[in-house]
Amino acid sequence: MKLTCSRNSLVEAIATVQRAVSTRSTNPVLDGILLRANEELVLTGYDSETGIEYRMEADISEKGSLVVPARILSEVVRKLSDNHVYLAIKDETVLVVESGKSVFNIRGYAADQYPEIEFFEDETRIVLQQKFLRQMINQTIFAVSADQSRPILMGINMIVEEETLTLVALDGFRLAVRREAIPGVMANVNIIIPAKAMGEIARILSDSEEEVVVSPSHNYIIFSKEKVKVVTRLIRGEFLNYRSIIPRDADSSLTIAPDVLLAAVIRASIMIDTEDRKFPVIFNTPDHETMTIEAKTDIGSAREEIPVSLSGEKVEIDFNPRFFIEALREIEDEQIVMTFSGSLGPCSLKPEKGEDFYYMILPLRR
131 and 237: one domain?
yes
| Separation in Å, CA 278 to CA 202, 265, 268, 300 | 35, 17, 15, 14
71 and 21: one domain?
yes
206 and 284: one domain?
no
Residues facing 41 on adjacent strands: 37, 56
Rg (the chain; Cα; Å): 25
CATH code where residue 68 lies: 3.10.150.10
Q: CB burial class (10 A; 0-12, 13-18, 19+) of residue 347?
A: buried
Q: Please give the Cα distance from 140 to 163 (Å, whole number).
A: 20
Model confidence pLDDT, tens digit, residues 313-334: 999 999 999 999 999 999 999 9
Does residue 118 sit within a domain? no
So what's the pLDDT on residue 26? 82
Does residue 120 sit within a domain? no
Contact 35, 53 (CB under 8 A): no
Low-confidence residues of the chain: pLDDT under 50 = none
175 and 232: one domain?
yes
138 and 179: one domain?
yes
For 106, list phi and psi in degrees, rounded to 5.
-115, 120
Say whether pTM exceeds 0.85: yes
Does residue 42 sit within a domain? yes
Does residue 223 sit within a domain? yes
Looking at 243, 266, 288, the residue that finishes a domain is 243
Model confidence pLDDT, tens digit, residues 131-189: 999 999 999 999 999 999 999 999 999 999 999 999 999 999 999 999 999 998 888 99
Does residue 232 sit within a domain? yes
137 and 82: one domain?
no
How many domains does the chain fold into?
3
Looking at 113, 148, 178, the residue that finishes a domain is 113
86 and 145: one domain?
no
Does residue 257 sit within a domain? yes
DSSP H or E segment with residue 180: strand 174-181
155 and 63: one domain?
no
So what's the pLDDT on residue 365? 82
Does residue 292 sit within a domain? yes
130 and 239: one domain?
yes
237 and 260: one domain?
no
So what's the pLDDT on residue 185? 86
Looking at 90, 113, 136, the residue that finishes a domain is 113
Residue 180 belongs to what domain range?
126-243
